[in-house]
A and B are shown apart, each in its own frame.
Chain A
Amino acid sequence: MALMTQGEFARRKQRRVMKGRIFYGLCLLAVMISLGMLGVLLFKIGLDGYARLSWDFIVKDIGIDWNWPFLHIDWAGPSRKPEEAGFGVALVGSVYVVGIAGITSFVLGVAAAVYLEEYAQRSGFSQAIRINIANLAGVPSIVYGLLGVEIFVRMMELGRSVLAGGFTLALLVLPLIIVASSEAIRAVPSSLREGGFGLGATRWQVVRHLVLPQAMPGILTGVILAVSRAIGETAPLIVMGALTFVPFTPGGPLDKFTVMPIQIFNWISRPQKEFHEAAAAGIIVLLVVLLAMNALAVFLRNKFQNRLEG
């Protein structure tokens, strides 16, 4: 006895195999389209910006002397003459703003996630909070810019400063970090917590010594994604007034600033071709910084993972 005759089986099998091949082809096509687009983008930018790429584009001059702070770096800033325009000031501005945003949102985000996952009672109210935090991640970034202007620039009177920009970006990426950290904390097996509690540990000790170390690789992955997003954000900082012509790097947290994507936007909107080349070179620098940060974060995550598995 069999389900069908051998001939019938062979015919149907051929059709099944055919369907499998078609599906495989479609998946491959999807990958090719995505990668192809990226390839075209990189190729075009590389072609346009390659000529402008040099150390002069970032740093004008480095001086060393024996007085504090020993090292004087003269970062290349914007200029009215397109061939003199540099990207260093924007690069430093980005590092400051994203650094402030990263640290602030990491501390706030992880603490909020710990509260939601470890301390809050599982009620309808806390469930509603969880869902709304996830929704906040989808709010257009320009709305966060307006919020930042209202709270940090006006109410807290920080002005259009590095600090205000950093805090605004921190608010923007906070939901991402909370959601990622919550998931990482939830993935820690409850047997680990029980082991800790069973020895007389307090909730804080369980969180500090068992839950957070175990969740850290996942949390760091979330932070990488968040910071990568923050570094490319333009709209909220434009609202805050970062689009001004800023020839010097910020010396303190209350100084004016500009960031890489805004500098690129600024150059692209000018008529001269040389500015467009500078923009392409700027995009390359932005991508390199992004890759470097991702690599660092992946390195950190693997280090944590290895330490756990020892």
Chain B
Amino acid sequence: MQVAAETIIRAVDLSVFYSSKPAVSSVTMDVPRNQITAIIGPSGCGKSTLLRSFNRMNDLVPTATVTGQVIFEGRNIYDASVDPTEIRYLIGMVFQRPNPFPKSIYDNVAFGPRINGFRGNMDELVERSLVGAALWDEVKDRINQSALALSGGQQQRLCIARALAVEPSVILMDEPCSSLDPIATLAIEQLMHELCEQYSIIIVTHNMQQAARVSHRTAFMLTDERNTGGFLVEYDESNKIFTSPEDERTEDYITGRFG
């Protein structure tokens, strides 16, 4: 794990503002390929905002403005020539609460490929995606039934399968386990371990144990009373962050002294 991995996403002096209020201020970090990178920090420190700026989901918030750069595969995704829909096709996302579409399980998974104009074998792709999300065995007999009938944990794995079906290179996960019970959480954590062989994963989490368990690298963010927006305090190998952090504020946070 100590081997320096190739970078897939590089944020350079990235700041995000809502109206004129800063939410993230000048974050610079390299996200490694085929690893799990965790972003931790107290509520309101801008970690979700940072995550959402990696696939231009913040474009959907009319008041949001982004400065700085996000370099993905050699180009700045905020460049005027870049179409955000293409970025979201390459960088998938799993949300805090499971948000299956009110359609069948099959149509949920097939949605992404269909809208992106996939013309290959859809049945095979749907099966492969559901297997990849460790959901296939549970749903293979009721693939045409409504996705809303699944349990919360199954719905979240369906959302992962839905993201996998588009075959992105990066998957962003915004507190994917926050509405799940411990068993479903464990299933998703195991899944993430398997997924990171093929995908690069960035996960925002409130749960420090989760970050310590699953991630290779961890970024710790904070915001201060002067309202400067969330900034990066420390970003390093997870082993190091959780055993011998450099910064005193990181140590205070992971030992539960504040936050």
Taking beta carbons and an 8 Å cutoff, which residues of A are in contact with B? 121-122, 189, 191-202, 205, 209-210, 213-214, 308-310
Contact = CB atoms under 8 A, between A and B. Distances in A.
B102 A199 contact: no
A175 to B, nearest CB: 25
Interface residues of B, number: 31
Given A191-B95, A199-B89, 17 more contacts: A191-B99, A194-B60, A195-B95, A195-B101, A196-B111, A197-B60, A199-B111, A200-B86, A200-B90, A200-B166, A201-B85, A201-B112, A202-B115, A210-B101, A309-B148, A310-B104, A310-B149
Given A310-B145, A310-B146, A198 B93 contact: yes
A195 B104 contact: no
A195 B116 CA distance: 14
A128 B78 CA distance: 33
A265 to B, nearest CB: 46
Interface string B42-56: 000000000000010
B204 interface: no
A197 B88 contact: yes
B157 interface: no
A3 B146 CA distance: 54
Interface in B216-256: none
B123 to A, nearest CB: 19
Contacts of B163: 198-199
B13 to A, nearest CB: 25
Given A192-B101, A310-B148, A198 B95 contact: yes
A200 B112 contact: yes
A202 B85 contact: yes
30 contacts: A192-B101, A194-B57, A194-B93, A195-B95, A195-B101, A196-B111, A197-B57, A197-B60, A198-B88, A198-B93, A198-B95, A199-B89, A199-B92, A199-B112, A199-B116, A199-B162, A199-B163, A200-B85, A200-B90, A200-B112, A200-B116, A201-B112, A202-B85, A209-B115, A214-B102, A309-B102, A310-B103, A310-B145, A310-B146, A310-B149
Please provide the 8 A-B residue pairs with the shortest distance between their CB atoms, ordered closest to farther: A200-B89, A310-B146, A199-B112, A198-B93, A191-B99, A308-B102, A195-B99, A200-B88
Contacts of A310: 102-104, 145-146, 148-149
Nearest to A305: B102
Interface in B126-165: 145-146, 148-149, 159, 162-163
Given A200-B85, A200-B166, A205 B115 contact: yes
B62 interface: yes
Contacts of B145: 310
A189 B99 CA distance: 9
B97 interface: yes
